[in-house]
Amino acid sequence: MSNFGSLDASEQQGKDILLKDFQPKSIYNVPRTKIERARFKVIDMHSHAYAASEEEIKNWIKTMDAMGIEKTVVLTMATGAEFDSLAAIYGKYGDWFELWCGFDYTGYDQPGYGPAAVKELERCYKMGARGVGELGDKGDGLIYSSPTRAIGMHLDDPRMKPLLEKCAELNMPISIHVADPYWMYLPVNERNDGLMNAAAWHIDVDKEGKLGHEELIQSFENAVRDNPKTTFIACHLANCSYNLEILGEMLDKYPNLYADIAARFAETATIPRYMKAFYEKYQDKLIYGTDMGMEADMYEITFRILETADEHFYYPTFNYHWSYSGFDLDDEVLRKVYHKNAEKLMNKN
């Protein structure tokens, strides 16, 4: 009787566990690789101004050095005084950091928008900006910017043309976040296998004037197609992890298009064999990025996914309830993704 009673209690206890509290640990006796440093030197092409003081910057540099990160691109999304203040802080450590600026959308909804924004872009370039980003459009318009958000204006809007052309002239790549992972557009219910993130980041596609996932990808492709001299980087695999054929077709079509892998490790480490083949096919177009802070364990999990053949491991910080497996990329692919492709974009020899 006691055994049966214990089973009943255990079953009841399990039913009380909320999905948000689900933090499993693998019990499989399979290889577990401890990554202490990237196999090859790395350029992180997608990070932000996480360090707010010189002490924090110096600590970040120590972590980068220990993990094999040669340089980090800080996507400030800023112009004006905000960009200047970041340039003053990070500019002292130019061997370790490269700053990219934003676009100034001030007056975008008024006649005559354009010349002042181009002038500000040129000024930021003189202050040290070597690219633009992270731009962002999740349907409402270009909202990742300071001090003004361009609600209703998308990357392929004619008003953006002078800025995109100036980026080509200055050889400044544009890094842009379009849409979000597809789970965020699906109903938040028992059939959504990205449920926890879908609940936190759900996107209401029925909002008037808001572009859906497919429309956003199309607006992005329009800009890439119509500005062949401008280099574009699709952040987060263009948020097409659910169907990478969409991104693959664009990478095939447009020599001026690249994609970073930042913050989409969880979304792809569930399909390791497919991803290995994708990396091999597009090894000249994919670039390493993180977008997840500056802690050592964050770098470690990215290296483990890219470098090893480990199976069924977890990283709760990603906030999904999936297990992950490594891609086991070969050395040549890793070298390109880790630094060669980035060096090409940054005009390094």
List, for residues 292-337, the tens digit of each pLDDT value. 999 999 999 999 999 999 999 999 888 888 999 999 999 999 999 9
- For residue 290, the model assigns a pLDDT of 98
Domains detected in the chain? 39-307+315-345 (3.20.20.140)
Share of the chain above pLDDT 70, in %: 96
| Segment 161-186 mean pLDDT | 97
Q: With contact defined as beta carbons under 8 Å apart, do 139 and 203 qualify? A: yes
Return the higher-pLDDT residue of 347 and 39.
Answer: 39
The half-sphere exposure of 19 on its side-chain side, counting CA atoms within 13 A, is: 14
- For residue 9, the model assigns a pLDDT of 61
- For residue 15, the model assigns a pLDDT of 76
- Residue 125: pLDDT band (50, 70, 90) is very high
| Segment 222-248 mean pLDDT | 98
CA 260 to chain centre: 6
Q: Within 91-189, where are the H helices?
A: 115-126, 161-170
| Segment 165-169 mean pLDDT | 98
Residue 208 has pLDDT above 60, yes or no: yes
- Residue 12: pLDDT band (50, 70, 90) is low
pTM, two decimals, is 0.94
| Segment 33-59 mean pLDDT | 96
Helix 244-253 crosses helix 272-281 at what angle (to 10 degrees)?
0
Distance CA 271, CA 40 (A): 24
In DSSP terms, 233 is beta-bridged to 175, 258
Residue 201 has pLDDT above 80, yes or no: yes
Distance CA 348, CA 338 (A): 14
Return the higher-pLDDT residue of 301 and 196.
Answer: 301
Distance CA 66, CA 37 (A): 7
Q: With contact defined as beta carbons under 8 Å apart, do 138 and 179 qualify? A: yes
**Mean pLDDT for all residues in the chain:** 93
Number of C-beta neighbours around residue 140 at 10 A: 18
